Amino acid sequence: MRSFAIKDDFPHRLVDSLREDRRILGPVTGRDGVCRLSRVEGWGELSAAAIPLIPPKKTLLPPRDPLWTFAEGEYRPPADPEPAALVGIPPCDLYGLAYLDLVFADDPLYQRRREALLLVGAACTPGPECFCPPRTEPPPFDLFLDNGRIWSGSPAGDGILASFSWELAEPEDLPLPEAVLGGEGVRPPEDLERTFRASVHAPLWREVGERCVSCGACSAVCPTCYCYDVVDEALPGGEVTRIREWDNCFFRSHALVAGGHNFRPTRTERLRFRFEHKLLGFGPLRGVSSCVGCGRCGRACPVDIDVSEVLARLVSGGTT
């Protein structure tokens, strides 16, 4: 992979250059100690590679997203997305975007936003709650920064680095930092599908489900949770807007259908459903785990339910 040695002040000049034609967003830790994905004007404002409370999915799938408006006899699509760059993004969030890219591969609005988005990753130091799984493929990125080095991962990244060619030495073919691919998180069992089926009535789900208060915080902060609802909002004058808004599989209303039937009326059933979706996936992505091991859900949960702990129990027995 093409990589260049860079000077310490290179990231500052890189952001100044990107800022000329796009807005820059990245992790910023506020005075309250909370890291948020925020708009910045310079590299110095960023907490590079920190994990923001709400992940980058909010830039591609906003919590309330108008899909179209019907007014004065015509349909109006949403405005074209503004060019943007996510800068200083940790590897787990880049892998999270890779999963969303698969889920929303046929979603025109998502794809238009994705095409307008430049990804600049940064190497992180895994914290105590991280459990990144081992990887075989690098995450998606245009540029990736580590101490004293930058990698290009796309033609857009090549183009940006070409504009700095006057100060960059010859490229070297070097792998990404080991930690990007070499997580040591809990490995899902070989036959997770069978383990899951066998665990349907296991005490594991009842015990954890009885602790869960169905607040939905874990799904809201998860970089790969994407459940949504679609609602139409009508104004008295006849204008109608169709809105895609975040939903949450922990909410009782999520599986409520016409006639009042609920497919998952209990917290235990909703918890197990979320873990099945997270670790096994559905539809064409069945068998693909979407847990990137960021640890956000464990930090956000008011009753300390931790996906790594649940996964470890599945690995060590599954049905206990």
310 binds ligand SF4 (CB under 6 A): no
90 binds ligand SF4 (CB under 6 A): no
Nearer to ligand SF4, 214 or 241 (CB): 214
268 binds ligand SF4 (CB under 6 A): no
- Provide the minimum distance between the beta carbon of 183 and ligand SF4 in the complex, in angstroms, as a whole number: 11
Q: CA distances (Å), 257 to each of 251, 261, 262, 265, in order?
A: 13, 6, 6, 11
35 binds ligand SF4 (CB under 6 A): no
Q: Which stretch binds ligand SF4 (CB under 6 A): 21-29, 168-176, 209-217, 227-235?
A: 209-217
Nearer to ligand SF4, 158 or 306 (CB): 306
Contact pick of 97, 109, 250, 313 for ligand SF4 (by CB under 6 A):
250
- Provide the minimum distance between the beta carbon of 99 and ligand SF4 in the complex, in angstroms, as a whole number: 9
Contact pick of 27, 56, 157, 293 for ligand SF4 (by CB under 6 A):
293
Contact present, 135 and 149 (Cβ < 8 Å): no
Q: Which stretch binds ligand SF4 (CB under 6 A): 29-37, 135-143, 167-175, 293-301?
A: 293-301
Q: How far is CA 41 from the centre of its chain?
A: 23
Contact pick of 15, 297, 310, 314 for ligand SF4 (by CB under 6 A):
297
What residues make contact with ligand SF4 under the rule CB under 6 A?
Answer: 212-218, 221-224, 250, 278, 291-297, 300-303, 305, 307
